[in-house]
Amino acid sequence: QSVLTQPPSASGTPGQRVTISCSGSSSNIGSNTVNWYQQLPGTAPKLLIYSNNQRPSGVPDRFSGSKSGTSASLAISGLQSEDEADYYCAAWDDSLNGPGVFGGGTKLTVL
Amino acid sequence: EVQLVQSGAEVKKPGATVKISCKVSGYTFTDYYMHWVQQAPGKGLEWMGLVDPEDGETIYAEKFQGRVTITADTSTDTAYMELSSLRSEDTAVYYCATVNNWNDVPHYWGQGTLVTVSS
């Protein structure tokens, strides 16, 4: 099981707002920033959100991130069919098991 | 533009060793930390380790400790990930990915390299 916990699936209809959660602990999300990645089938992950809520250049403002305590969330508003993908959260972890930790991923389906 | 270009797909027998390369461009190689991430078929992302190209310091995930070696060649701006004692469970796509802050996870990713372990 992954160090960060995400729901395995989420869904929404075009135009809807969808939220994906990511739960961690004091050694990772609680003390470091969170990144979110979008992975389309057969492609490498793409950075969607960094430093909890910052969007890289080129990422639509329909995507937003937030963090509170040991949890983080990714919100997608105005859902579009091309948003159907796997989404992963990740953070640095201060524990001895290794600094990089990922969530298990959430498969987003646009109905 | 930051670019990470990985070597091609590999097919290995159980017990063998694989070495994957990741050549970077668009930034100063020694200014960014290079991470490696495993993704088994149909599974999620798993962090393997990282190297600081400036001094060669490495950190490995407990799961891969003893079997993985990550290095950086500053003369060619290329990072390498070597995984030994391969078993079928190591069949996966391996990504190099980089970021310029110490306590951060990657921003830029390579295209991935498929390693198939089969007898």
Report in angstroms the alpha-carbon separations of B25 from A104, B5, B69, B77: 30, 9, 22, 8
pLDDT in tens, B21-58: 999 999 999 999 999 999 999 999 999 999 999 999 99
Question: For residue range A60-86, what is the model confidence (pLDDT) as tens digits?
Answer: 999 999 999 999 999 999 999 999 999
- The DSSP line for chain B is --EEEE---EEE-TT--EEEEEEEESS-GGGSEEEEEEE-TT--EEEEEEE-TTT--EEE-TTTTTTEEEEEETTTTEEEEEE-S--GGG-EEEEEEEESSTTS--SEE---EEEEE--
Q: Which of B39, B52, B5 is nearest to B25 (CA)?
A: B5
The mean pLDDT of chain B is: 96
Confidence category of residue B111, pLDDT binned at 50, 70, 90: very high
Say what the pLDDT of residue A97 is.
Answer: 66
Contacts of B112 in chain A (CB under 8 A): 44
The answer to whether A45 faces chain B, any CB pair under 8 Å, is yes
Chain A closest-CA separation from residue B73 CA (Å): 22
Please report which confidence band the pLDDT of residue B15 belongs to, taking 50, 70 and 90 as the band edges: very high
Residues of chain A whose pLDDT is less than 50? Answer: none
A98 touching chain B per CB within 8 A = yes
Question: Can you tell me the mean pLDDT for B102-112?
Answer: 93
Q: Where are the beta strands (DSSP E) in chain A?
A: 9-12, 18-23, 34-39, 46-49, 63-68, 71-76, 85-92, 100-102, 106-110
**pLDDT for position A95:** 86
% of chain B surpassing 70 pLDDT: 100
**Cα torsion B106, B48, B109, A35: sign:** negative
Q: Do B44 and A45 touch (CB under 8 A)?
A: no
Binned at pLDDT 50, 70 and 90, residue B102 comes out as: confident
A88, A91, A98 member nearest B60 (Cβ): A98
* Separation between Cα atoms, residue A108 and residue A72, nearest integer Å: 17
* Predicted local confidence at residue A24, as pLDDT: 96
